[in-house]
Structure formats: C-alpha cells, structure tokens
Amino acid sequence: MEGENGYKKGLWTVEEDIILMEYIREHGKGRWNRIAKTTGLKRCGKSCRLRWINYLSPSVKRGDFSEEEDDLIIRLHNLLGNRWSLIAGRVPGRTDNQVKNHWNTHLSKKLGIKKGRSKLGASSQALPTIKVGESLKIPSESTSKAPFDSTSEPMDQKGIEDLSQCTVKLPSMQETTMSTEGNDSLLPSTQETMMSTEGNDSSFWFSTVDFPYPPSLMELLDECSLDFGWHGL
DNA sequence: AATGAGGTCAACCGCCCAGTT
DNA sequence: CAACTGGGCGGTTGACCTCAT
C-alpha cells in the first residue's frame, strides 16, 4: 500500500480525511507538501491537494449531473475541447475530475463520440465558427498545431476573454457584465467565490448550499450565438 | 448463490508552467 | 541563467459496484 517514498496510495480512509480537513481548517489551502510533515499523514502533497479539491472541499457538489449541467458541459466541450479545468470552472460545484469522468462515461456515449486524445475533443474536426465580433479567430499558423495547444497563442483564453465581455440580460437578474481579471481564472467562478472564504474559521464550514445556477453561462452561450458543430446531435 | 462483464469514479501518473532561490 | 519547488492539468488506471446470466 505504501510507495517507495513511504507515501500511502489508494483510497482515502475517514481518518485520513479528518486529518487533512483539520490541517486545512487550521492552515488553509496550499503548501500541500507540508501536510505530511506536520500531520504525519502518509500522503504526498499532490494526493492531499487532489483529495481536497475533488472530494473534501465544501464547494464540491455531489450527486448526479442535472440536464442543465449536461447541456452546459456539452456546449463548453464543443467550445473548449478537453480543457476540463476550464469547463469545470464554469460548472459550479463540479470539479474537473467530475466533469471529465462524467463526459467519458456518460456524455461521450450519449453523443456517440469516440474517445480521442485530442485536446479539442469533439470539436477537433470542425472548430467552432464564432460569430461574436470575430472574437475567436483561429491563428492562421494553427494548421499543424492544435489551436488550443498551450504552446501556441491561447486562442481559447483570448476568445473567452472576448466572450466574457458579453453583456447579457439575465432573466430575473440584474444585467451582468462578465469581465476577467486577466489571469487564468477567466470568469469569476462560483467555486472560487466560495472558496475565497476558506481559511476563515467562522465561515469555513459553510454548507454546500444550492448554487445559484449561473444562467449567465447558459445565456452567454446562447446569446453569443456560437455556431457550434453539433456532430451527430 | 456464484460469477463474469461492464460501468463508474476516485486516485494516480507524468508532464508542464510559474515563481522563487 | 539554472535549479528547485509548488501547483495545475489531462490522460489513465484500477478498485468497487451493479446487473445479467
């Protein structure tokens, strides 16, 4: 069960979860590699981080994916390809791992998509034709390089930044202008907002309240009239 | 009841990147 | 500038579960 480096592998026990949660409650997130040293937990930093992000974090929503979430994921996957972290960042309460698993086990089947290795995922053959003020322009040199390739101009990020400038009127909500901070978190995700309270003892154990479903995302995709290729849909 | 197949999903792995020293 | 460290990502694995036989 223990690796060469003395770290344990495999499923986490309740005791390990408690140790990890106690550590995070006291010290906050980050410095994952210190957890093993300070708590004696026989888990590597990466494992701790993953366990927290994918399972223990109060912001993680459990249970089945709703139709709305499915639809959102399908749309985002069409736009972003297998950029699970980006997709998950826009599906409140869901982690990249959850989204990835759900796609691989349910949605790809549902859509009849064969598993591929491309980061473009389902949209690899026909890139989305974006009509948002020519925002999402595919680099001309991208013929041999995937346009989403991290080594090239992050076209998706640029595109999303442009997308994020869309001002959408939301039903029963105030007019919302999406903007970015210019960092990796392109849109302010609910998850991040919620996580921002972590480390504060008084608000640490907030419940996994129902997320105000972000109609902004669905509406955004609709409003911006993205001409997705719905392969086989 | 036993068991084999297939599905699900938590966790791991390897790679990459950014920040720090 | 190189080396090191922390953290993030996507792909893959394998333990566990369910169901049909």
Of A32, A31, A59, A71, nearest in space to A48 by CA:
A32
Of A233, A232, A228, A226, nearest in space to A126 by CA:
A228
Of A142, A109, A111, nearest in space to A127 by CA:
A142
Q: Which two tokens stand for residue A87?
A: 């997709």
Q: What's the average model confidence in pLDDT over A67-89?
A: 86
Verify if strand C has an atom below 7 Å from the CB of A82.
yes
Q: What's the average model confidence in pLDDT over A111-132?
A: 41
For A26-67, the pLDDT digits (tens) are 888 878 888 888 888 888 888 888 888 888 888 888 888 888
Give the pLDDT score at A112.
Answer: 67
Q: Which two tokens stand for residue A104?
A: 């691989």
Q: How far is CA A94 from CA A2, A25, A74, in A?
A: 30, 21, 14
Q: What's the average model confidence in pLDDT over A115-142?
A: 35
**C-alpha span between A58 and A16 (Å, rounded):** 17
Listed in sequence order, the residues at least 6 apart from A44 whose beta carbon sits closer than 8 Å to its beta carbon are A5, A7, A33, A36
Q: What's the average model confidence in pLDDT over A71-79?
A: 86
3-state SS class at A76: helix
**C-alpha span between A76 and A84 (Å, rounded):** 9
Which one has a higher pLDDT value, A67 or A164? A67
Nearest nt to the A3 alpha carbon by C1': B12
CA of A105 to C1' of B4 (A): 21
Verify if strand C has an atom below 7 Å from the CB of A27.
no
Give the pLDDT score at A159.
Answer: 39
Listed in sequence order, the residues at least 6 apart from A119 whose beta carbon sits closer than 8 Å to its beta carbon are A81, A82, A83, A146, A148, A149
Nearest nt to the A81 alpha carbon by C1': C10
H or E stretch covering A168: strand A167-168
**Cβ within 7 A of any strand B atom:** A 3, 8-12, 43, 46-47, 50-51, 54-55, 97-98, 100-102, 104-106, 109, 150-151
**C-alpha span between A44 and A47 (Å, rounded):** 5
